[in-house]
């Protein structure tokens, strides 16, 4: 009897030890898998994310539509307003373009005028499959990818204004990081001044310009904000947003605290265009 009990205990101990070992092994292997995911090149691991987005695009879109319908700030009421905004943005771009052209004429004493905006660039229209504009992430998933020539950091426009840049791209779809995303940083020019600063997304449909513009610089609410030229990606400044709030910084009263909102209604855009400057 005692011998049987002893055997039973030994078996139980072995089983427990094996179970414990297998748990440790399980944990180790899964951690290893996690580290492989972290260390693997992002272009490989992104395929998982893109596959998920492709498979579940319909439920994701339905969920997005419902939440957007319930949480959207109704700034613009009808489509005619949207058309007006498009024209206003287009005019702003042309004015900026004209001003640059005038400067160049003055500088180069009548040498050949600079080319019209985006001449020679390839414009790829894309439909939006998923929109995420709340919380920390502000991004779009679009139905164009490397097959159409898309690459990271290319600028994306909607309603004639810049809305963001390509963050990640696969063969058929791409992720557009909007400039209101909290991890977005874009060089911008405020109004007609020569002040160039970095604009950082803060979520909630807005972005802030890094607060180091002195209050002596004339900036006011309603001023237009332009994305700066970026060789190979954007050859001319384009409108990106409008200053909605300009107040003295709480910590440093000698500098402006500038809040910028998109030049178009991001919640209503259905398609975007990707600029490929050197196709």
Partner 1 sequence: MRWYRFAVLVLLATVLQAGFLSNFTVKPDLLLILLVFFAVYSNTSEAIISSFTIGFAADLIGPAMGPQTISFGLFGTALAYLHQVIAIRKMPYQALVIFATGILAGTMVHLLNLLKSEPGPAEIYSDIFKAALYSGIVGPFLFLPLAWWMRIKTNRFRRNRIMR
Residues that bind partner 1 (CB under 8 A): 16, 19, 22-23, 26-27, 30-31, 33-40, 42, 45-46, 48-49, 52, 56, 59-64, 66-68, 71, 130-137, 181-183, 185, 200-204
Tell me whether residue 46 or residue 146 sits nearer to partner 1 (CB atom).
Answer: 46
Burial class of residue 220, CB neighbours in 10 A (0-12, 13-18, 19+): exposed
Q: How far is CA 65 from the centre of its chain?
A: 19
CB of 54 to partner 1, least distance (A): 12
CB of 227 to partner 1, least distance (A): 18
Spatial distance between the Cα atoms of 182 and 135, rounded to a whole number of angstroms: 9
In this structure, what token pair is assigned to residue 79?
């489509």
* Alpha helix positions (H), 119-203: none
Tell me whether residue 16 or residue 153 sits nearer to partner 1 (CB atom).
Answer: 16
CB of 78 to partner 1, least distance (A): 22
Spatial distance between the Cα atoms of 199 and 60, rounded to a whole number of angstroms: 30
Task: Give SS3 for 112.
Answer: coil
CB of 201 to partner 1, least distance (A): 8
In this structure, what token pair is assigned to residue 203?
């979520």
Tell me whether residue 201 or residue 241 sits nearer to partner 1 (CB atom).
Answer: 201
CB of 203 to partner 1, least distance (A): 7
CB of 145 to partner 1, least distance (A): 18
CB of 231 to partner 1, least distance (A): 22
- CA-closest candidate to residue 262, choices 144, 173, 156, 172: 156
Tell me whether residue 118 or residue 178 sits nearer to partner 1 (CB atom).
Answer: 178
CB of 26 to partner 1, least distance (A): 5
The DSSP element (H or E) to which 200 belongs, if any, is strand 196-203
Tell me whether residue 31 or residue 98 sits nearer to partner 1 (CB atom).
Answer: 31
Q: Are 75 and 265 in contact (CB under 8 A)?
A: yes
Q: How many CA atoms lie within 13 A of 223 on its CB side?
A: 21
Burial 238-277 (b: 16+ CB within 10 A, else e): bbbbbbeebeeeeeeeebbbbbbbbbbbbbbbeebbbbbb
Tell me whether residue 205 or residue 226 sits nearer to partner 1 (CB atom).
Answer: 205
Tell me whether residue 29 or residue 87 sits nearer to partner 1 (CB atom).
Answer: 29
Tell me whether residue 61 or residue 172 sits nearer to partner 1 (CB atom).
Answer: 61
Burial class of residue 7, CB neighbours in 10 A (0-12, 13-18, 19+): exposed
């Amino acid at each position: 009897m005692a011998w049987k009990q002893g055997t039973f205990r030994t078996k139980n101990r072995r089983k427990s030890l094996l179970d414990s070992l297998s748990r440790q092994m399980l944990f180790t292997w899964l951690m290893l898998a996690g580290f492989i995911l972290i260390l693997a090149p992002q272009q490989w691991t992104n395929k998982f994310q893109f596959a998920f987005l492709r498979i579940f695009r319909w439920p994701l879109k339905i969920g997005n539509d419902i939440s957007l319908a319930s949480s959207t700030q109704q700034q613009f009421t009808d489509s005619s307003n949207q058309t007006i905004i498009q024209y206003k943005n287009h005019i702003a771009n042309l004015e900026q373009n004209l001003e640059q052209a005038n400067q160049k004429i003055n500088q180069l004493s009548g040498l050949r005028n600079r080319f019209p905006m985006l001449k020679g660039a390839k414009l790829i229209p894309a439909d939006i499959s998923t929109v995420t504009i709340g919380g920390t992430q502000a991004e779009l998933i679009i139905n164009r990818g490397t097959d159409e020539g898309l690459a990271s950091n290319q600028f994306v426009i909607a309603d004639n204004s810049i809305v963001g840049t390509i963050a990640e791209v696969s063969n058929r779809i791409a992720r557009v990081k909007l400039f209101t995303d909290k991890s977005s940083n874009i060089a911008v020019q405020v109004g007609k001044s020569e002040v160039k600063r970095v604009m950082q997304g803060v979520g909630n449909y807005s972005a802030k310009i890094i607060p180091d513009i002195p209050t002596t610089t004339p900036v006011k609410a309603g001023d237009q904000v332009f994305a700066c030229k970026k060789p190979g990606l954007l050859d001319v400044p384009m409108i990106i947003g409008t200053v909605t709030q300009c107040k003295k910084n709480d910590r440093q009263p000698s500098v402006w605290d500038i809040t910028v909102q998109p030049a178009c209604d991001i919640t209503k855009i259905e398609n975007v265009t990707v600029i490929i400057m050197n196709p």
